[in-house]
Amino acid sequence: MNVMDNRATSAMLYLDGVHVSFDGFHAINNLSLTLEPGEMRAIIGPNGAGKTTMMDIITGKTKPDEGTVLFDGVTDLTRLDETRIAELGIGRKFQKPTVFESQSVQDNLLLALNVDHSVKGTLFWRGSKAESERIDKVLETIRLTEARNRLAGSLSHGQKQWLEIGMLLAQDPKLLLVDEPVAGMTDVETHLTAELLKEINKTHTVMVVEHDMTFVRELGVKVTCLHEGTVLAEGTIDQVSSNERVIEVYLGR
Amino acid sequence: MTPHMLTRSLDRSATIFLAVVAACGILIPLSNLLLPAGSFLQVPTYLVALWGKYVCYAILALSIDLIWGYCGILSLGHGAFFALGGYAMGMYLMRQIGTRGVYGNPILPDFMVFLNYSKLPWTWYGFDMFWFAALMVLLVPGLLAFCFGWLAFRSRVTGVYLSIITQAMTYALLLAFFRNDFGFGGNNGLTDFKDILGFNVQAEGTRAALFALSCLALIAGFLICRAIVSSKLGKVLIAVRDAESRTRFLGYRVESYKLFVFTVSACMAGVAGALYVPQVGIINPSEFAPGNSIEAVIWVAVGGRGTLVGAALGAVVVNYAKTFFTSGMLAPYWLFMLGALFILVTLLLPKGIVGTFNAWWDQSKEKRSAAAMASAAAEDGVTEPKMAE
């Protein structure tokens, strides 16, 4: 049987009619969203709009009450756990940079590489040239070659953000979910991060959640604005930011 | 630079540790057996048995450090695995008594005759063979840990909740083993051992050999733990300890990793218990007491969590102190002192003895190398202005 025949959609990520409520609070309300392969999408929205909850649903941390979540047109993500979803090729960068602080920068990348992740595989692991070359390449991309032997915990905030993006690169997923990559970064770092994400987007599908409008503008991609767990507006940054309701939501009535 | 130095310093303390344990394992039995009794350098037999007990505790501490120090699993019930290993060995020793028991029954141990057992319970089958008992020493704790861990880790029971259910586990076993009709000697436990593999357990030679074997087991356990924590699996364990859900999102099956170390650790604790029983001559349900497990965790904290060497050192230091203080007029205050020790270590030496020493050593090394560089520069006649560093 050809897998292609079973595809319900050509989208890389397909969310339809998703609902999640926590103790009666509707965090996600009839959310529908599609991401085409190779696309980069920016997600904006005020606090509590459900951006992070949406990422939780896609990565299996939260199970939706109802709705469809399809990855690559065939896989129902609502039935899988975090590990299985990561194995399928969905990588995630957290809002708060989460790196393994007590381990070196290169060990962080080594752990992220998409090689054998079984207990047996890691117990009898022997480094290979291909692996160390991949780590070298990622280190170069995220500009941390000099810091490779430093403990990840000793990096600056911006460097930690990059290391986490580097971990995503080492993981080499089909879809990258990037939650607030430039929070707490300087203008220069923000600019470099935008360049980095654009570079990554050449070979990967990316979804970026971000508050920083200058950054979103710099990315120059389609923007989706969420509000109260549902899509409020979608389009270019100019279209979205001139939308009456978006302005209302952001500035309050 | 730092992690590299960390591994180097660990290697240094590992080498010293292995050399010390090997030297003790060889010299103490030799001195006990070959030198005339009462001579200055002769280690008396009671000390050999006492130190043998410490070595078994060190193995238990090592097994706790493997899961707590490297994977963040705080088991407060590890004494249960230790005791189960001890019971497996005790059952073998009971069946070696044969007709020399008070009732002279060739099959049934004394307590069974006393309790009017007509035949051997099935749980005791096979324990007349050493190889079977040795297998059970590994298998029973391992299997319990596997089942317990499978349920707990799969349901993502972590942190203090896991600690509490491990306490409940050891307490439940304590109650079960206390019952006379459970078939393992009730509150008296198993004692009055005669032979192990045909050698008299009381004999000096046997005691010396058991001590040497315990040291050997400590070395083997240490090497196994080292191999685990220095492999890539060790890095995954530390990742789980520091950021469990992050590790999951990288595609690691966290529960499998936890299950693996938890089971290995339980088997190690079982071996420790099995070596402990012939040296102390008794195993009873009090070994399951929750307090014992907590005390073992304190040894690890005192010695230095996540250092392996520290765990073993902590076990010996705290138990030496315990022996010293509980034999004098301070005896009633031992538990207070243990509590105070735990608080003081937490406040003043949060990394434990070995962890603090390692940090201090690395720091002074950095200083020394910086000083060496500065003096070399001065000798070369380079008159650099002092950097504002």
Task: Tell whether A154 and A234 lie within a shared domain.
Answer: no
Q: Which one of A83, A114, A150 has the shortest CB-CB distance to B253? A: A83
> In this predicted model, which residue has the larger pLDDT, B143 or A50?
B143
Closest residue by Cα to residue B78 from B106, B224, B86: B86
Q: Which residues of A touch B236 (CB under 8 A)?
A: 111, 122
Q: Which residues of A touch B242 (CB under 8 A)?
A: 100-103
Quote the CA–CA distance of B93 and B192 in Å, as a whole number: 9
Q: Is A101 on the interface with B (CB under 8 A)?
A: yes
What are the residues whose beta carbons fall under 8 Å from the beta carbon of A92, sequence distance 6 or more? A55, A59, A86, A168, A176, A177, A178, A179, B249
Task: Tell whether A163 and A130 lie within a shared domain.
Answer: yes
Q: Does residue B99 form part of some domain? A: yes
**Strand, coil or helix: B132:** helix
Closest residue by Cα to residue B298 from B85, B57, B84: B57
> What pLDDT is recorded for position B270?
98
What CA–CA distances, in Å, run from A233 to A33, A79, A210, A246, B42? Answer: 11, 29, 15, 7, 87
Last residue of a domain, one of A172, A203, A218: A172
Q: Which one of B239, B245, B253 has the shortest CB-CB distance to A111? A: B239
* Residue positions counted in chain A: 253
Q: Does residue B370 form part of some domain? A: no
Task: Tell whether A10 and A78 lie within a shared domain.
Answer: yes
Cβ pairs A/B, distance under 8 A: 86
- Nearest chain B residue to A98, by CA: B246
> What pLDDT is recorded for position B380?
62
Q: Is A39 on the interface with B (CB under 8 A)?
A: no
For chain B (389 residues), the mean pLDDT of every run of 10, in chain order, is 46 90 95 88 91 97 97 97 98 94 91 91 95 98 98 95 97 96 92 94 94 97 95 96 94 96 98 97 96 95 94 96 87 86 88 89 85 75 44
Task: Supply the DSSP symbol for B331.
Answer: G
Q: Does residue B260 form part of some domain? A: yes
CB contact under 8 A, A124 and B231: yes
Last residue of a domain, one of A148, A172, A196: A172
**Strand, coil or helix: B73:** coil
Q: Is A98 on the interface with B (CB under 8 A)?
A: yes
**Strand, coil or helix: B157:** coil
> What pLDDT is recorded for position A131?
94
Count Cα neighbours of B329 within 13 Å in the Cβ-side half-sphere.
0
Task: Tell whether A79 and A185 lie within a shared domain.
Answer: yes
CATH number of the domain at A39, please. 3.40.50.300
Helix (H), strand (E) at residue B121: none
Task: Tell whether A117 and A77 lie within a shared domain.
Answer: no
Task: Tell whether A64 and A188 lie within a shared domain.
Answer: yes
Quote the CA–CA distance of B236 and B240 in Å, as a whole number: 6
Instruction: Name the E strands within B28-179.
Output: none
Structural domain span for residue B123: 2-361
For chain B, how are helix, strand and coil distributed in percent, rounded to 5? 75, 0, 20
Q: Which of residues 219-258 of B touch A (CB under 8 A)?
A: 228, 231-233, 235-236, 238-239, 242-243, 245-254, 256-257
Closest residue by Cα to residue B70 from B180, B213, B224, B218: B224
Q: Does residue B318 form part of some domain? A: yes
Q: Does residue B389 form part of some domain? A: no
Give A66-121 pLDDT, tens digit per residue: 999 999 988 999 999 999 999 999 999 988 889 999 999 999 999 999 999 999 99
> What pLDDT is recorded for position A95?
83
Q: Does residue B375 form part of some domain? A: no
> What pLDDT is recorded for position B3?
47
Q: Which residues of B touch A119 (CB under 8 A)?
A: 233, 253, 256-257, 260
Structural domain span for residue A122: 95-172
Q: Are the beta carbons of A210 and A44 closer than 8 angstroms?
A: yes
Q: Is B156 on the interface with A (CB under 8 A)?
A: no
Task: Tell whether A76 and A185 lie within a shared domain.
Answer: yes
> What pLDDT is recorded for position B4?
45
Task: Tell whether A33 and A83 lie within a shared domain.
Answer: yes
Give A178-226 pLDDT, tens digit per residue: 999 998 888 998 999 999 999 999 999 999 999 888 899 999 999 999 9
Q: Is B116 on the interface with A (CB under 8 A)?
A: no
Q: Does residue B378 form part of some domain? A: no
Quote the CA–CA distance of B58 and B318 in Å, as a whole number: 10
Q: Which one of A86, A125, A154 has the shortest CB-CB distance to B251? A: A86
- Nearest chain B residue to A109, by CA: B250
Q: What are phi and psi of B37, to 5 degrees?
A: -60, 140
Quote the CA–CA distance of A239 and B14 in Å, as a whole number: 64
Q: Which residues of B touch A61 (CB under 8 A)?
A: 245
> What pLDDT is recorded for position B5?
42
Quote the CA–CA distance of B27 and B349 in Å, as a whole number: 33
Q: Is B5 on the interface with A (CB under 8 A)?
A: no
> What pLDDT is recorded for position B389?
37
Q: What is the pTM of this model?
A: 0.91
Q: Does residue B181 form part of some domain? A: yes
Q: Is A250 on the interface with B (CB under 8 A)?
A: no
Quote the CA–CA distance of A28 and A64 in Å, as a whole number: 9
How large is the average pLDDT for residues A156-185? Answer: 92
Q: Which one of A86, A102, A125 has the shortest CB-CB distance to B238? A: A102
Domains contained in chain B, number: 1
Task: Tell whether A199 and A235 lie within a shared domain.
Answer: yes
Q: What are phi and psi of B155, to 5 degrees?
A: -85, 5
Task: Tell whether A157 and A187 lie within a shared domain.
Answer: no
Quote the CA–CA distance of B172 and B138 in Å, as a whole number: 21
Q: Is A124 on the interface with B (CB under 8 A)?
A: yes
Last residue of a domain, one of A105, A140, A172: A172
> What pLDDT is recorded for position B217?
98
Q: Is A61 on the interface with B (CB under 8 A)?
A: yes
Domains contained in chain A, number: 2
Helix (H), strand (E) at residue A71: strand A66-71
Task: Tell whether A150 and A68 lie within a shared domain.
Answer: no
> What pLDDT is recorded for position B383?
46
First to last CA, chain B: 18
Quote the CA–CA distance of B109 and B283 in Å, as a whole number: 14
Choosing among B154, B224, B249, B252, which should be mutated to test the A contact, i.e. which has the most A CBs within 10 A?
A: B249
Min Cα separation A73/chain B (Å): 21
Q: Are the beta carbons of B127 and B75 closer than 8 angstroms?
A: no
The phi-psi region of residue B162 (left if phi > 0; otherwise alpha if psi is between -120 and 50; otherwise beta) is: alpha
How many other CB atoms sit within 10 Å of the CB of residue A125?
17
Q: Which two three-digit tokens encode residue B263? A: 């089971």
Q: Is A148 on the interface with B (CB under 8 A)?
A: no
* Residue positions counted in chain B: 389
Task: Tell whether A113 and A214 lie within a shared domain.
Answer: no
